[in-house]
Every structure is written in C-alpha cells, then in structure tokens.
Amino acid sequence: MRKKIVAGNWKMNLTFDEGQKLTTEIVNMYKDENIKDVTVVLNPPFVHLFPVKKLVGDTPNLFLGGQNCSDKASGAFTGETSAPMLKSFGATYVIIGHSERREYFNESNELLTAKVKQALENGLTPIFCCGEPLEIREAGTHEDYVKNQLTESLFGLSDEDFAKIVIAYEPIWAIGTGKTASSDQAQEMHKALRDHLAGKYGQEAADNTSILYGGSCNPGNAKDIFSKADVDGGLIGGASLKSRDFVDIIKSF
Ligand SMILES: O=C(CO)COP(=O)(O)O
C-alpha cells in the first residue's frame, strides 16, 4: 500500500533562529496532536539540516530531506552538496527536479536522471517533481508534457529502483501564486500519471507509488485535494513555513 506523505519545502527561506523555532513548533504539535499514519518530511536549506535533525530526533514518521543534490558523489564542484553528505547528516529524502531548479538552474531531464541515481545509490528516497507551465496547460498538452518528464528521467530505472521513487506533481502556474489546481484537475493528472507508470512498471508498482500534489496547497484546500483517489499527499511551499498551517495540512487526511 502506498504511503501518505506531506513534505514541506522551505525553499530559500529562514535564518538559523527562525528554522529552529519553526521546527520546535512542528515537532511539539506533531507529538501533542497525535498525528498518525502520515509520513512527514521537512526539506530545509542544506545549512539547516544538522540542527533541524537534532530537534526532530527520532520522532516517528518525521523525516528530513534535501531540496536538491549533486549528480556527482564528490569532488571539485564548488557550491554543490552530494547525496552521501545529505545521508550522513540525517536526511532520508531528497527533492529532485523542482520546477525552480529546472527553470533557474537549467536542470534537464537527463541531468535529473543522474541525480535520481545518485540519490538511490546513497539510500535517499527521491521526491521527483514534474509539472507543466501555464502555456502548456492552456494548449491542452499538459498530460503528454508531464508524462514525458517521467519517461525521460525515470523510465531507465530498474523495477527495484523505481519502487523507491515518490512523485510530486506541481503545476508551475499554481506554485506560489495562490492559484491552486482544482482537486479534479489534480486527480485527473495524478490518474494519468499513474496509468503511465503502470504502462511501464505494471499496475502493482504504479499503485504502490505515492504521487503528491504541490502548488498553493493550504489548510483550506488540502482536505479536498487529499480526498482524491490518486492524490497521496502534498509538497508544500509557503504554508510549510507556518507551523500551524503545515500541521493542519498534515491533519487534512
Ligand atoms: O513549490 C512548491 C513546493 O515544492 C509549492 O509552493 P507553494 O505551496 O508555495 O505554492
């Protein structure tokens, strides 16, 4: 059975003190409010990983992830952070292929394949992001566009490796815009992606793959979005920076 996952992507936000405060609040609410059956992943900027890990400790079902990793294991790549480093600092997940990385850092589907491999080789679970820009949605070719992102970056994986992947569908026009996809739009895409995965890896593997929705998810719309059959959770940006909102989203299942 696939996991329900809510992951918070802090992006490039929060100082040390702010990160500590947010994490402490989330950990306390998480424990006090008896949250069960949801895997929660905090994805802070790299410099926060170690102190955030200390606060999270071994809270059950509360995990840490990176927002990116290098496609190389080590070496002279100034400014980069490798998958083995993330693992050694307590991360177990890593976001790969976020649309902001694709757009501002020119990350191609091919490069993302190498990053996914690095993550898997080092025991990290990739949260692989996909999603279409507005013009593609308006042209009506969004399903093919997003399926192609999965085909090009993931379909070289073995069955065994594919079983470790989490997918996050994030329509670019819904990210940080306050304009979320409707729950029906999310369901339609998630179902199309699951069918696409089934075509390559079989129905059972597709049914076991968690597909998260991301894009202006908040406590007011999460329940509706998460109620859809093929939506297995969320990748949360802005609302993950507010402890009450983030925990309320987690509790929306
Ligand atoms: O990009 C996102 C998460 O990775 C979504 O961001 P927002 O929730 O701020 O729209």
Domain boundaries, the chain: 5-250
Catalytic one among 100, 142, 170, 196? 170
For the stretch 154-167, pLDDT in tens is 999 999 999 999 99
Residue 39, pLDDT above cutoff 90: yes
CATH H superfamily, domain 5-250: Aldolase class I (3.20.20.70)
Q: What ipTM was reported for this prediction? A: 0.99
Catalytic one among 48, 98, 142, 190? 98
**Given pLDDT bands bounded at 50, 70 and 90, which one contains residue 180?**
confident
CA of 212 to the centre of ligand 1 (A): 12
Instruction: Please write down the long-range contacts of 141-145, taking CB distance under 8 Å and 24 or more positions apart.
Output: 142/171, 142/189, 143/189, 143/192
Structure confidence at residue 179 (pLDDT): 82
- Ligand 1 nearest-atom number relative to CA 218: 8
Establish whether residue 237 lines the binding site of ligand 1, counting it when its CB lies within 6 angstroms of any ligand atom.
yes
Cβ-contact 108, 97 below 8 angstroms: no
CA distances for 44 relative to 9, 19, 217, 221, angstroms? 6, 8, 18, 23
If one residue of 12, 175, 245, 248 were mutated to test the ligand 1 pocket, choosing by the most ligand atoms within 8 A of its CB, it would be 175
For the stretch 140-159, pLDDT in tens is 999 999 999 999 999 999 99
Quote the pTM value.
0.98
For the stretch 210-250, pLDDT in tens is 999 999 999 999 999 999 999 999 999 999 999 999 999 99
CA of 76 to the centre of ligand 1 (A): 31
173 annotated binding-site participant: no
* Active-site residue flag, 152: no
Structure confidence at residue 177 (pLDDT): 87
Using a pLDDT cut of 90, give the percent of the chain over it: 95
Q: For residue 10, which of 60, 46, 38 has the smallest C-alpha distance? A: 46
CA of 75 to the centre of ligand 1 (A): 31
- CA–CA separation, 226 vs 229, rounded Å? 8
Residue 34, pLDDT above cutoff 90: no
- Ligand 1 nearest-atom number relative to CA 95: 4
Residue 182, pLDDT above cutoff 90: yes
Structure confidence at residue 153 (pLDDT): 97
* Active-site residue flag, 190: no
